[in-house]
Each structure stands twice: as structure tokens, then as C-alpha cells.
Amino acid sequence: MRRWLVFVSVVVLLVLYTGLELGFLVPKAPLAAIWSVDVAFFWLLIGWQLAQRRGASARSRAWAAFGWVAAFATGLWATFVLLTLPVDLAALARSAAPPRALMLGVLAVSALLAALGLRQALAGPVVREVSVPISGLPEALAGLRIVQVSDLHVGPMIAKDYVGAVVDDVLSLEPDLVALTGDIADGAVEHLAAHVAPLARLRAPLGVYYVTGNHEYYWGAEPWVRKMKELGLTPLIGEGKIVEKDGARLLVGGIPDPAALSFVPAHRGDASEVAAAGEADFKLLLAHRPDAYEQSEPAGFDLQLSGHTHGGQFFPFSVIVGLAHRYRRGLHKHGRLWLYVNSGTGYWGPPHRFAVPAEITLLVLRPA
């Protein structure tokens, strides 16, 4: 209930703010028309996502086209709000309205950034290779290739063709191990089964592993875990597996997203318990949220792979996201732990990835 109250409060504030901005941009328009357009836009903003996640785009080309128009409008609006807010705050501090020409300029820049972000999103993920220096790494694990996919968000805008291209890219990297770190699906299994089917082609000598993200819990985590098993992946819900490579032992562990506490309490995971699954020369933890480092570092893990933040997904949110996450993107060292935060292999909400391209990460272990 508290979560819904927060959500509704935020939506109401955004509706009011957007209505005020519309009134400023179109000062001669009747107030009734401005607020009607404002409310209708937010109905579109929320409604298209719910409809698309229930398979609306598969019903007709008209639904699919509607989804893309609504998605682009969402990206443009989000960029405009983030760019105009500091302008309005500065004007408020001076007790003077910002020049209307400036605000129209901000709107034009927002449209440009949204268009460039759409182009980047449609281009698909880039492959980002990262070398991870590990102290005391056994010779047998030197050069080990781990490929990470995260936040694919198969659903409203991302379908089987995109997923198939991601799988092809992953296989071309010849991984020793593949890790999927949550938010792979963004809808119900019955609507998206055909679109995640290409994941069944993923192969790696040491296995293909999966942990849940928060979005799986919104749409039914238990069915999604079963589906991943059917596709040949190994879900790690608060457990660890020992695998060997040329005599060296590697522990691959995973913990569920904290959203499990609200949706599937049986999905529990503690990094220290996972780390105790067996003696190993190298310990790898898969955890959707980066802040799991608070557990994984004292538990003795060498490397944690996470996602969730999307790196902000697009500018200027890519700057703001740092206020919520200590580690928002890329490789970081926390104590003895290495932490890599994938920027997302897909995107959530609007197809908008300006200045923050989607990625498939190739992590190569090296002796420190």
C-alpha cells in the first residue's frame, strides 16, 4: 500500500508539473484544453506500457505503431522534464519566469536528444570488454571469459529478433560462462514465451546462469524461473554451484532481487550462505542490484556482476542516477571485491539510450 501511495503521489506531481509547463509553452490555449491534453497524455504514458506488456503489439500493426509513437513521446517528455527542471528552479530562485523562447529551445533540444536516443536504442548493444585483475588467481582461470547480459527487458519494445541478435553476439564471444543478471523479461510468460525462445541457444562450457531482477517479480517470478529452466539456463535463487576448469574450482552464486520479499518470500538469498556452498579458488556472485556489495564483499566474493541501474539509460538521467546508486555503471573496486555494473542489454520504457548505449559485457579474468 505504501508503495502505491508513493507511486500515485509522484504521478500526481508530474501531472501538475507537466500541465504548468504546457500552459507556459502555449499561453493562449484554454485552461480546460491544456489540462485535458495533460491528463490524456499521462493516460497514454501509463496505458501504453500496460497494454503492450499484455501482448497488445501482437494483435495488429496499428497497436504496434501506437506503441512506438507512445514510447517515443515518453522519451521526449522525460528528457524535457529533466532538462527544464533546473531552468525552472533557477527562475523560481530569481522570482521571475524563464524566457518562453528558452523553454521552446529546451523542448527542441529534448526532441533532438530523444531522436538520437531512439537511434542508439535501435542499434542494439555494443560489446564492452573489461579486464578484471584478480589477486591469487589460479593459472587455470587466467583468461576465463565471462559474458554478462542484464536488463534485457523483453516485452513492449524488445522482441525475439532483438533477443536473437543478442544471443548471436554472446556466442560469437566464445564465453566460458554466461551470466544473466535479472530483468530479462518485462511481462507475463504467456505473452513473451516466443520472444525469449532464442535464449535456449545460449551455451558455455561452465554453464549459463540466471538470477531474478525486480521486474520478474512484477510479472510472476516463479513462472519466469520455470521458463528459464525450460530454456536450459540454471537459475540461482540464493544458492551456489561449484564448477571446475582444469582442476581449479569456481563458485558461481546468485541471490534474488530484494523485491522477492514483497512478492515471493520463499525466494531468499544471503551472500554469506551462498559463499559457503563450497571451497573455491574464485567466487563469483550474480546479484541484480549493485548495492548487494554490502553483503558480497564481507562474504568473500572476488567478483560481483549486477545491473538494474541502466547507467541512467539516457542523458541527463545518466547523471542523476548517481544520487541513488553509489556504483551505477562499469567496473569498481570495493575493498577486496570487484564489482561490475552492466548498463543494460536492452532498455526499459522509452527506446531512448542517448549517450548510454546498451551493452553486452565480456569480462576477462587476469592475474593481478
Task: Measure the CA–CA gap between 198 and 161, rounded to whole angstroms.
Answer: 9
Taking alpha carbons only, the member of 162, 208, 157 closest to residue 187 is: 157
Residues forming a β-bridge with 127: 360
pLDDT of residue 48: 75
Cell of 22: 504546457
What sign does the CA torsion over 167, 172, 178, 182 have? Answer: negative
Scan for cell 505504501, then name that residue. 2
With a CB cutoff of 8 Å and minimum separation 6, the contacts of 4 are: none
Cell numbers of 329, please?
555503471
For CA atoms 360, 67, 116, 321, the dihedral sign is negative
- For residue 351, the tally of other CB atoms under 10 A from its CB is 23
C-alpha cell at 268: 531468499
**What does the pLDDT read at residue 194?**
94
Residue 141 is predicted with a pLDDT of 98
Q: Residue 358 CB: number of other CB atoms within 10 A?
A: 27
By the 10 Å C-beta count (0-12 exposed, 13-18 middle, 19+ buried), 197 is classed as middle
Write out the chain's pLDDT in tens, 368 residues: 677 788 788 888 998 999 999 998 998 899 999 999 999 888 888 877 777 666 665 556 777 788 888 889 999 999 999 999 999 999 889 888 899 999 999 999 999 999 999 999 999 999 999 999 999 999 999 999 999 999 999 988 899 999 999 999 999 999 999 999 999 999 899 989 999 999 999 999 999 999 999 999 999 999 999 999 999 999 999 999 999 999 999 999 999 999 999 999 999 989 999 999 999 999 999 999 999 999 999 999 999 999 999 999 999 999 999 889 999 999 999 999 999 999 999 999 899 999 999 999 999 999 99
Position 66 scores a pLDDT of 80
Domains of the chain, first to last: 2-122 (no CATH), 126-367 (3.60.21.10)
Q: Is there a contact between 179 and 305 (Cβ–Cβ < 8 Å)? A: yes
Write down the pLDDT at residue 166: 98
